[in-house]
C-alpha cells in the first residue's frame, strides 16, 4: 500500500457521457461496502450508487453471528443494521440482494451480475467500482468436508442452518476446527447451547495472534469450563457416523465422534473476480490498493477483508479480516471517490475476544510476529497486576506482555488476558501505538482512577515503568527460556512457604525480607537471576543487589510467567 497521502481529486473518474450521472457500483454490502455506500451518499447527492450482494441481506452484523447461533442474540433481525428499503429511502442507494457479480469488463466499465433467484444475467455499467466481497471461510480439501452437519459461519443463512441442525438433531456435541477468534466464539456459543465441545487446532495454542504463553491462561480457563482442547493436531477427514452423527478424523489418527463440525480454520480473501479482471493480487493473497484504497485501475477501489494493507508496526503488507479497519477503509474509499484528499493509515491488528468469561486482547506485533519479520532489537516485560486497586473487593489479575523497541522504547505491541479491564488496557496502548508512543509515554499516561476502575499506578503505567527500568539499565532482565542452560545462580526471593509450595527448577531460596541481612552469601563473580511471584520483589532485589556490586537480573513476570510458559509447552 502506498504510504503517502493521495489526492484523488485530479483523477476522479467522470461519467462516460454528459447526459448520464456518475455511477458507483459496490460489490458486497457488509461492513466496508455498506460504510462506503452510506458515506459516499453523504458526500455526494449527485451520484448514482448501487450495492450488489450475493446474500439476502446487506449491512448485517457478521461479528454477531456466533452469538446468534448461541441464542445469546435470539432474534436474527437484531443482526440487520439496515435494510435494502432503508438504504433506498434514507440514502437513495439501490440495493440488489441475491445478486452475484461474475465478471468485470474494465475496458467497457461494465459489471456482469447474475440474479441468483432467477438465474438471469445482466450488465451494470459503472464509472466507479468498489470491491468489498470479503473473505471466505477456508474449506480444506479433505474427505468429508461437504457432509451434512459440517458448517462454516459467514452469513445469517449459515447461522440459521446451524441453529436448525442443533434443534432438529438434538445435537449434544460439536467439534470446532480452529482455535482462533471465530473458533473460540463458536465454541463459547455452542457451550452456551449446552453442547459438549472439542476444539481441534493444528497449532499448539489457541488465539494464534498472541504469543503462546499469553494464550495459556485462556487455555487453562477453557479446559476448566469443560471444553476439550486437542492442540497440535490437524483435521484429516470427516466421516459419517451413527445416524446423523459425524466422525472427525484428526491427523494423529484420533477419531472424534460428534453431532456437528464447525470449520473455523481461517478465511481467504475472495479475489476471484479481481483476479479474473487482471487486478494485481499481493503476496499475502489480497487485492493491492494504494493509500486511498484504489486499485491499479483508476476506476476500481477495494476495501475490507479482500485487500492487503500495511501493518504499521512491521511495515509489511498484511491481510486482516477485522470489522473496524473494514469500516474505516469504506470511509476512505468514499472520500477518495468523492474527490477528497484521504489516506488509510494502515492497521495495527487490535483485537479482542471474550471467551466464557475471560477476555484476551492484543494490539501491534507479537513476539513471534517480530521474529518472523526479522526484528531483533526489541525487549519484553511481563506483569500481572490487578484490574483495579487490590484493596477494593474483586480485583482480578491481568496478565500483560509489553513489547518495545530497544533502545528507543517505541511500543511495538501488547497482549493481555484476564477477566476484567483487559480491553481497556489494550485500547489505551493501541492509542499510544497510533502516535508512535514510547514506554516512557505509557509510564506517564494519566488514566482515570477510582478503586473500582484502576489503580493510582494503572497496569498500563506499570508496564511503561518496567520497560523504562529495562531501557535505562535499572532492571536488567533475563529470559525464562535460558534458565535450563544458564551459568547464573537462580534465586527465588519469595518467602520460604511460597518457595516450598512450588518453584521453578534449579532455584535456591533467599527471601527479599532477608536480603539485607544475607546478601553477602551470594557470589559476586556470577550472574544472579532473580524470580518472585510476579516480578516486583525480584525487581526490588535486583535494585538492591545491583547497587551492592552484584550482576543481578530479573526474570520478568516471576513464577506466574514461568507457569504460563510451561502451560504453553515452552522450554
Q: Are 59 and 26 in contact (CB under 8 A)?
A: no
Whether the CB-CB separation of 353 and 67 falls below 8 Å is answered with no
DSSP type of residue 57? -
We find the least distance from the C-beta atom of residue 345 to a second copy, in angstroms, to be: 6
Phi, psi of 321 (to 5 degrees): -80, 75
Q: Which of 36, 63, 520, 532 is catalytic?
A: 63
Minimum gap (Å) between residue 112 Cβ and a second copy = 30
Which CB atom, from 198 or from 461, has the smaller least distance to a second copy? 461
Smallest separation, CB 37 to a second copy (Å): 13
Q: Is 171 or 222 the residue whose CB approaches a second copy more closely?
A: 222
Which letter, b or e, does each residue of 373-410 get, where b requires 16 or more Cβ atoms within 10 Å of its Cβ?
Answer: eebeebbbbbbbbbbbbeeeeebebbbbbbbbbeeebb
CB-count exposure of residue 561 (10 Å: 0-12, 13-18, 19+)? buried
Nearer to a second copy, 44 or 94 (CB): 44
Stretch that binds a second copy, among 38-46, 115-123, 550-558, 563-571 (CB under 8 A): 38-46
Partner residues linked to 80 by β-bridges: 60
Segment interacting with a second copy (CB under 8 A) among 280-288, 397-405, 524-532, 537-545? 537-545
Question: Applying CB under 8 A, which of residues 11, 14, 21, 42 lies at the interface with a second copy?
Answer: 42
What is the pattern of x (binds a second copy, CB under 8 A) and - over residues 407-426?
----------------xx-x
Pick 195 or 326: Cβ nearer a second copy: 326
Separation of alpha carbons 416 and 346, rounded Å: 22
Identify the helix (H) or strand (E) that includes residue 258: strand 255-258
Least distance to a second copy from the beta carbon of 136, Å?
Answer: 20
| Contact positions with a second copy (CB under 8 A) in 321-350 | 322-328, 345, 347-348, 350
User: Min. distance of Cβ 43 from a second copy in angstroms?
Assistant: 8
Alpha carbons 180 and 356: distance in angstroms, whole number: 14
Near a second copy in 425-484, by CB under 8 A? 426-428, 430-432, 434-435, 437, 441, 444-454, 456-458, 461, 474
Which residues ranging from 50 to 69 are in contact with a second copy (CB under 8 A)? 61, 63-64, 67
Judged by CB under 8 A, the chain residues 488 through 527 that form the site for a second copy are: 512-513, 516
Q: How would you class 17 by CB atoms within 10 Å of its CB: exposed for 0-12, middle for 13-18, buried for 19 or more?
A: exposed
Distance of CA 502 to the CA centre of its chain: 34
Q: With beta carbons less than 8 A apart as the criterion, state whether 251 and 237 touch.
A: no
**Do β-strands 246-250 and 135-137 pair in parallel, antiparallel, or remain unpaired?**
unpaired
Segment interacting with a second copy, rule: CB under 8 A, options 157-165, 236-244, 389-397, 551-559 = 389-397
CB distance 244 to 148 below 8 Å: yes
- Applying CB under 8 A, what is the total number of residues that bind a second copy? 81
- 547 binding a second copy? (CB under 8 A): yes
Element (H or E) spanning 332, and its range? helix 323-337
Question: Is 532 considered catalytic here?
Answer: no
220 burial via Cβ count (<10 Å: 0-12, 13-18, 19+): middle
Work out how close the CB of 289 gets to a second copy at its nearest, in angstroms, rounded to a whole number.
17
- Closest distance to a second copy from the beta carbon of 90 (Å): 6
- Interface with a second copy (CB under 8 A), residue from 170, 393, 473, 505: 393
Interacting positions 272-331 with a second copy (CB under 8 A): 322-328
Q: In the complex with a second copy, which residue's Cβ is closer, 44 or 251?
A: 44
Instruction: Report in angstroms how near the CB of residue 202 gets to a second copy at its nearest.
Output: 23
DSSP class of 519? G
Site for a second copy in 217-276 (CB under 8 A): none
Nearer to a second copy, 254 or 431 (CB): 431
Q: Which is nearer to a second copy, 60 or 562 (CB)?
A: 60
CB 547 within 8 A of CB 482: no
461/561 with CB nearer a second copy: 461
Burial of 321 (0-12, 13-18, 19+ CB in 10 A): buried
Where do runs of H (alpha helix) occur along 170-261?
181-192, 212-224
The dihedral over CA atoms of 384, 389, 392, 397, expressed in degrees to the nearest 10, equals -10
**CB-based contacts of 459, cutoff 8 Å, min separation 6:** 383, 385, 386, 387, 398, 400, 421, 425
Chain residues 164-183 in contact with a second copy, contact rule CB under 8 A: 181
Cβ-contact 491, 507 below 8 angstroms: yes
Of 2, 7, 44, 317, the one binding a second copy by CB under 8 A: 44
Query: Closest by alpha carbon to 439, among 470, 406, 404?
Result: 404
> Residue 106 or residue 440: which is nearer to a second copy going by CB?
440
Instruction: Choose, by CB under 8 A, the member of 163, 169, 192, 548 that binds a second copy.
Output: 548
Element (H, E) at 49: strand 48-52
- CA 284 to CA 427: how far, in whole Å? 27
Burial grade of 276 (CB within 10 A; 0-12, 13-18, 19 or more): exposed
Instruction: Kindly state the smallest distance separating residue 447's Cβ from a second copy, in Å.
Output: 5
Q: How far is the CB of 189 from a second copy (least distance, A)?
A: 11
Candidate list 93, 361, 383, 467; residue touching a second copy; CB under 8 A: 361
Q: Map the footprint of a second copy across residues 177-216, applying CB under 8 A.
A: 181, 185
Of 200 and 334, CB closest to a second copy: 334
CB nearer to a second copy: pick between 113 and 207: 207
User: Which residues from 66-105 bind a second copy, rule CB under 8 A?
Assistant: 67, 72-73, 78-79, 81, 89-92
- CB 464 to a second copy: min, Å: 11
Catalytic residues: 63
Amino acid at each position: 500500500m502506498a504510504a503517502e497521502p493521495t489526492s484523488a481529486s485530479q483523477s476522479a473518474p467522470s461519467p462516460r457521457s454528459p447526459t448520464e450521472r456518475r455511477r458507483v457500483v459496490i460489490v458486497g454490502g457488509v461492513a466496508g461496502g455498506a460504510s462506503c455506500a452510506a458515506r459516499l451518499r453523504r458526500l455526494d447527492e449527485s451520484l448514482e450508487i448501487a450495492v450488489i450482494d450475493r446474500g439476502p441481506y446487506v449491512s448485517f452484523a457478521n461479528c454477531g453471528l456466533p452469538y446468534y447461533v448461541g441464542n445469546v442474540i435470539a432474534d436474527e433481525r437484531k443482526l440487520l443494521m439496515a435494510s435494502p428499503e432503508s438504504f433506498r429511502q434514507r440514502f437513495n442507494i439501490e440495493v440488489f440482494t441475491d445478486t452475484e457479480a461474475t465478471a468485470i469488463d474494465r475496458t467497457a466499465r461494465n459489471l456482469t451480475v447474475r440474479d441468483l433467484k432467477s438465474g438471469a444475467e445482466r450488465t451494470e455499467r459503472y464509472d466507479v467500482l468498489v470491491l468489498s466481497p470479503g473473505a471466505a471461510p477456508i474449506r480444506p480439501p479433505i474427505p468429508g468436508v461437504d457432509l451434512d452437519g459440517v458448517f462454516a459461519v459467514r452469513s445469517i443463512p449459515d447461522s440459521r442452518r446451524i441453529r436448525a441442525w442443533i434443534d432438529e438433531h438434538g445435537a449434544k456435541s460439536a467439534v470446532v476446527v480452529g482455535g482462533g477468534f471465530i473458533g473460540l466464539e463458536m465454541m463459547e456459543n455452542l457451550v452456551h447451547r449446552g453442547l459438549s465441545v472439542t476444539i481441534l487446532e493444528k497449532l499448539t495454542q489457541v488465539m494464534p495472534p498472541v504469543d503462546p504463553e499469553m494464550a495459556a491462561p485462556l487455555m487453562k480457563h477453557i479446559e476448566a469450563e469443560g471444553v476439550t482442547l486437542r492442540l497440535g493436531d490437524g483435521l484429516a477427514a470427516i466421516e459419517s457416523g451413527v445416524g446423523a452423527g459425524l466422525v472427525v478424523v484428526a491427523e494423529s489418527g484420533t477419531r472424534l465422534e460428534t453431532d456437528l463440525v464447525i470449520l473455523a480454520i481461517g478465511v481467504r480473501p475472495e479475489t476471484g473476480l479481481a483476479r479474473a479482471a487482471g487486478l494485481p493480487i499481493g503476496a499475502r493473497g489480497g487485492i493491492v490498493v494504494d493509500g486511498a484504497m484504489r486499485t491499479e485501475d483508476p476506476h476500481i477501489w477495494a476495501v475490507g477483508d479482500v485487500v492487503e494493507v500495511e501493518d504499521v508496526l512491521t511495515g509489511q503488507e498484511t491481510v486482516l479480516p477485522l470489522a473496524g479497519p473494514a469500516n474505516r477503509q469504506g470511509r476512505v474509499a468514499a472520500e477518495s471517490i468523492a474527490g477528497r484528499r484521504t489516506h488509510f493509515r494502515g492497521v495495527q491488528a487490535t483485537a479482542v475476544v471474550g471467551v466464557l468469561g475471560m477476555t484476551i486482547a492484543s494490539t501491534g506485533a507479537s513476539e513471534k510476529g517480530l521474529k518472523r519479520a526479522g526484528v531483533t532489537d526489541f525487549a519484553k516485560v511481563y506483569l500481572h497486576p490487578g484490574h483495579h486497586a487490590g484493596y477494593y473487593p474483586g480485583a482480578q489479575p491481568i496478565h500483560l506482555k509489553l513489547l518495545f523497541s530497544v533502545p528507543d522504547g517505541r511500543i511495538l505491541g501488547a497482549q493481555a488476558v484476564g477477566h476484567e479491564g483487559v480491553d481497556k488496557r489494550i485500547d489505551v496502548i493501541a492509542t499510544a501505538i497510533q502516535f508512535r508512543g514510547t514506554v516512557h509515554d505509557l509510564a506517564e499516561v494519566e488514566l482515570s482512577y477510582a478503586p473500582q476502575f484502576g489503580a493510582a499506578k494503572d497496569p498500563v503505567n506499570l508496564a511503561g515503568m518496567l520497560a523504562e527500568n529495562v531501557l535505562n539499565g535499572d532492571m536488567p532482565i533475563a529470559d525464562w527460556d535460558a534458565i535450563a542452560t544458564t551459568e547464573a545462580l537462580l534465586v527465588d526471593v519469595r518467602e520460604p512457604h511460597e518457595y516450598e509450595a512450588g518453584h521453578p527448577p534449579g532455584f535456591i531460596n533467599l527471601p527479599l525480607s532477608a536480603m539485607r541481612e544475607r546478601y553477602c552469601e551470594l557470589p559476586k563473580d556470577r550472574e544472579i537471576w532473580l524470580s518472585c511471584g510476579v516480578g516486583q520483589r525480584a525487581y526490588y532485589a535486583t535494585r538492591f543487589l545491583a547497587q551492592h556490586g552484584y550482576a543481578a537480573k530479573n526474570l520478568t513476570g516471576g513464577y506466574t510467567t514461568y507457569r504460563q510458559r510451561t502451560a504453553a509447552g515452552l522450554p
